[in-house]
Amino acid sequence: MSNIVAIVGRPNVGKSTFFNRLIQRREAIVDAVSGVTRDRHYGKSDWNGKEFSLIDTGGYVLGSDDVFEAEIDKQVELAIDEADAIIFMVDVESGVTGMDEDVAKLLRKVSKPVFLVVNKVDNGKRAEDAVEFYALGLGEYYTVASINGSGTGELLDALVEALPEKEEVVEEALPRFAVVGRPNAGKSSFINALIGEDRYIVTDIAGTTRDSIDTKYNRFGFEFNLVDTAGIRRKSKVKEDLEFYSVMRSVRAIEHADVCLVVLDANRGFDGQVQNIFWLAERNRKGIVVLVNKWDLVEKDHKSVKEYEKVIRKQMEPFTDVPIVFISALTKQRIFKAIETAVEVYQNRSKKIKTSQLNEVLLPIIENYPPPAYKAKFVKIKYIMQLPTPQPQFAFFCNLPQYVKEPYKRFLENKLREKFGFNGVPISVYMRKK
């Protein structure tokens, strides 16, 4: 287990820039809009061989009527609870503000190591100005300029020195399940319902989750990482740079996931945007489970599920072998079924079939239904094997691979699904010269 370090402070003091410098990636969104970091954001960093997890919290604001600010308060308090050490960041340009004093008051009660860090100190004059932060009653402070990294070495030396020793647990590469969908489909509510903790801010404003966040999840003997992504929006809707980063992050989350849980709002259906996300996951050869959320709000009769499912499958063609689970994140209806299904899809995606078995089962079928002759030439498929790739890919060795057309490849794919069960997983079929 690595230690957790939380970065707290009011908005716009440079927490995210500092966070990015420590994890050396463009993970948090850095933008001059106040209060951009709405969720706790996790990253890994290490210094002098000691690894720790970093949480970049939303700016802490007391007594603000902004919906987000009230939620961000909670996030900071959660971060204080979760962290082994706290970096409290202030800004030398604005000096001590009322908000800084509010945060300091909270932190003076914390028994964990707290590091007061004065940011934007990039010259001698500013270093002198930093003295006023003694007034916060948190003792010594560190001066840094997170934009160029000056002063961070000294702070990190002290930080890793103060972190408690944790016993090492070897972390295996866990499967990654990404929860994707359009804004406001209920992705964060679904994850909250699973985890039973308000890990994400849930408000009814579209686009609250602007970053994707990983949560380790372990229940019912399943262990994996759940990735909540920013609601992906159509390109035309990406107005602020912010949204641009979010979309990039969602795309990246899909690329790095093993299984994508595509969440859609039952009232909106499998619309164009959901379809784009679905095909993005399919093109990346990821396992897919479709979750129809807010099912509790739909007027139902005895055939609604069947009818609804039929409509979705029609829109998925030709890739229709995908599980569809009807859920309600609000009432927790079938949310664990959703996870069980995702685990099954993950297992399908990593399934390896013996070459002998493939040939035994499929060659007789191919013999009965050979590929259509082309220009009076007959295609003979002699041998089949699964390729050693992370997702299911099959090579069919034959005399004239160039004459095997798409419809026949689809026939082979359907036979593979029927005989070996690859529900929820895109399959690639290749024709190779024997």
Q: Is the pLDDT reported for residue 399 higher than 60? A: yes
- Identify the CATH assignment for 176-350 out of 3.30.300.30, 3.40.50.300, 1.20.1740.10, 3.10.129.10: 3.40.50.300
CA 281 centroid distance within chain: 13
State the Cα–Cα distance between residues 377 and 412, nearest whole angstrom: 20
Percentage with pLDDT > 90 across the chain: 31
Q: Is the pLDDT reported for residue 426 higher than 70? A: yes
Q: In which band, very low, low, confident or very high, does the pLDDT at 227 lie, cut at 50, 70 and 90?
A: confident
What is the residue whose two structure tokens read 């093993």?
258
> 64-79, pLDDT tens digit by residue?
556 566 655 665 676 6
Say if residues 399 and 380 touch (Cβ distance below 8 Å): yes
DSSP symbols for 336-357: HHHHHHHHHHHHHHT----HHH
Q: Is the pLDDT reported for residue 246 higher than 50? A: no
State the Cα–Cα distance between residues 215 and 174, nearest whole angstrom: 11
Q: Do domains 3-162 and 176-350 have the same CATH topology?
A: yes
Contacts for 299 with CB less than 8 Å, ≥ 6 apart:
none
3-state secondary structure 166-234: CCCCCCCCCCEEEEEECCCCCHHHHHHHHHCCCCCCCCCCCCCCCCCEEEEEEECCEEEEEEECCCCCC
Known binding positions: 9-16, 56-60, 119-122, 181-188, 228-232, 293-296
Q: Is the pLDDT reported for residue 110 higher than 90? A: no
Question: What confidence score (pLDDT) does residue 17 get?
Answer: 85
Give the pairing type, strands 114-119 and 85-91. Answer: parallel
Average the pLDDT over 377-382 and give the result. 89
CA distances from 371 to 401, 407, 430 (A): 10, 9, 14
Q: Is the pLDDT reported for residue 339 higher than 80? A: yes
State the Cα–Cα distance between residues 327 and 265, nearest whole angstrom: 10
Tell me which residue of 55, 343, 3, 332 sits closest to 214, measured CA to CA: 55
Domain 3-162: assigned CATH number: 3.40.50.300
Give the pairing type, strands 393-398 and 381-386. Answer: antiparallel
Considering the domain delimited by 355-433, tell me its CATH architecture.
2-Layer Sandwich (3.30)
Amino acid at position 359, single letter: N
Average the pLDDT over 347-353 and give the result. 92
125-132 contacts, C-beta under 8 A, 24 or more apart: 126/92, 126/93, 129/92, 129/95, 130/92, 132/95, 132/96
CA distances from 333 to 295, 340, 343 (A): 9, 13, 18
Q: In which band, very low, low, confident or very high, does the pLDDT at 304 lie, cut at 50, 70 and 90?
A: confident
State yes or no: cis peptide before 401, omega within 30 of 0. Answer: no
Known binding positions for GTP: 9-16, 56-60, 119-122, 181-188, 228-232, 293-296
Tell me which residue of 220, 224, 286 sits closest to 254, measured CA to CA: 286
Residue 227 tokens, joined? 């990735």
Most confident region among 3-12, 130-139, 175-184 by mean pLDDT: 130-139
Question: What confidence score (pLDDT) does residue 245 get?
Answer: 40
Delimit the domains of the chain by residue range: 3-162, 176-350, 355-433
CA 181 centroid distance within chain: 11
Contacts for 60 with CB less than 8 Å, ≥ 6 apart:
8, 9, 10, 72, 73, 76, 99, 102, 103, 106
Question: What confidence score (pLDDT) does residue 89 get?
Answer: 92
Percentage with pLDDT > 70 across the chain: 78
Identify the weakest region by mean pLDDT among 84-88, 123-127, 167-171, 290-294. Answer: 167-171
CB atoms within 10 A of CB 176: 18
- Mean per-residue pLDDT over the chain, rounded: 80
CA 388 centroid distance within chain: 26
State the Cα–Cα distance between residues 274 and 261, nearest whole angstrom: 11
**Which residue has better confidence, 26 or 224?**
224
Q: Is the pLDDT reported for residue 184 higher than 80? A: no
Question: What confidence score (pLDDT) does residue 318 get?
Answer: 86
CB atoms within 10 A of CB 196: 9
